[in-house]
């Protein structure tokens, strides 16, 4: 602690744009700020539906900083007349960007029942785009993707560039359930979201 107190400022993550000005923040502020979150339910045949959402106040998301969204959901596979294979596709959407498809795992043979899992998505503002990382997808692969040749980090671009972070933004995690299981549903049970921020929310210039 003594060494840390000698330094008043902390530096943001390195910016990939070498001409950009690095950001600094005082150590007196907490490194993560909790955001408002929303829960939803995706039903089979309804198209991509928001199940987890994070609401980012204006003037809060600094360049090079991460947004963390995590939670768990309950996936219901209703019995009777199940298809031989099934898959759930996932997307990330923001109020200023289009749907960005996440990597899709192989289809599975559905078995009637209730299934629950924990998910975590990380988004980093890296002007002029946002980078998305699906932690669940990463964990099922080998270290550094040695044999899989998969780039896990996706790009989320603004529908009308550039992103305007002076406006409130909502980031949604979408799930799409095919209609072949008519009573299938995926319901969010818990969600929390955090913004890596070395100042108070809404206080960026």
Q: What is the pLDDT of residues 159-181, one digit of tens each?
A: 999 999 999 999 999 999 999 99
Give the pLDDT confidence of 78-118 residue by residue, as tens digits.
888 899 999 999 999 999 998 999 988 889 999 999 999 99
Tally the domains of the chain.
1
User: Which residue segment(s) compose the domain that 184 sits in?
Assistant: 30-196
Query: 5 lies in a domain?
Result: no
Residue 23 has pLDDT above 70, yes or no: no
Give the mean pLDDT of 168-195: 96
Instruction: Average the pLDDT over each of 30-39, 161-170, 182-191 and give the range with the smallest value.
Output: 30-39
Residue 125 forms part of a structural domain: yes
Choose between 204 and 100: higher pLDDT.
Answer: 100
Give percent of the chain above pLDDT 90.
64
The answer to whether residue 1 scores a pLDDT higher than 50 is: no
Q: How many residues are there in the chain?
A: 205
pLDDT of the residue at 201: 86
Does 44 sit behind a cis peptide bond, omega within 30 degrees of 0 on the bond before it? Answer: no
DSSP structural state of residue 194: E
Structural domain contains residue 98 = yes
Q: Strands 9-11 and 24-26: what pairing?
A: antiparallel
**Runs of H (alpha helix) within 88-167:** 135-139
Mean pLDDT of the chain: 85
Question: Quick check: pTM over 0.85?
Answer: no
- Assign 3-state DSSP to the chain and report helix, strand, coil percentages, each to 5: 5, 45, 50
Residue 70, pLDDT > 90, answer yes
Check whether the bond before 200 is cis (ω within 30° of 0): no
Q: Are 122 and 135 in contact (CB under 8 A)?
A: yes
Secondary structure class of 20 (helix, strand, coil): coil
Report yes or no on 2 lying in a domain.
no
Q: Using the predicted structure, report yes or no on whether residue 28 has a pLDDT greater than 90.
A: no
pLDDT at residue 38 in the model: 97
Other Cβ atoms less than 10 A from the Cβ of 163: the count is 22
pLDDT over 80 (residue 6)? no
- Nearest in space to 78 (alpha carbons), one of 180, 174, 176: 180
In a domain, 16, yes or no: no
Is the residue at 14 inside a domain? no
């Amino acid at each position: 602690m003594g060494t840390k107190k000698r330094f008043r400022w902390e530096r943001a993550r390195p910016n990939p744009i070498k001409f950009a000005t690095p950001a600094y923040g005082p150590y007196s502020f907490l490194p993560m700020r909790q955001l408002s979150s929303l829960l939803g339910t995706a039903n089979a045949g309804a198209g991509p539906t928001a199940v987890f959402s994070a609401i980012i106040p204006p003037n809060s998301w600094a360049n090079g900083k991460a947004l963390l969204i995590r939670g768990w959901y309950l996936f219901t596979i209703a019995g009777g007349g199940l298809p031989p294979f099934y898959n759930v596709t996932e997307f990330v959407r923001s109020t200023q960007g289009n749907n960005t498809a996440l990597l899709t795992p192989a289809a599975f043979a559905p078995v009637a029942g209730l299934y629950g899992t924990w998910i975590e998505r990380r988004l980093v503002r890296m002007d002029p785009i946002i980078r998305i990382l699906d932690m669940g997808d990463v964990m099922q692969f080998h270290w550094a993707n040695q044999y899989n040749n998969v780039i896990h980090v996706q790009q989320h671009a603004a529908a009308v560039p550039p992103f305007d972070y002076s406006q409130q933004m909502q980031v949604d995690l979408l799930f799409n359930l095919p209609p072949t299981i008519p009573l299938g549903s995926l319901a969010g049970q818990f969600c929390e979201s955090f913004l890596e921020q070395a100042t108070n929310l809404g206080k960026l210039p």
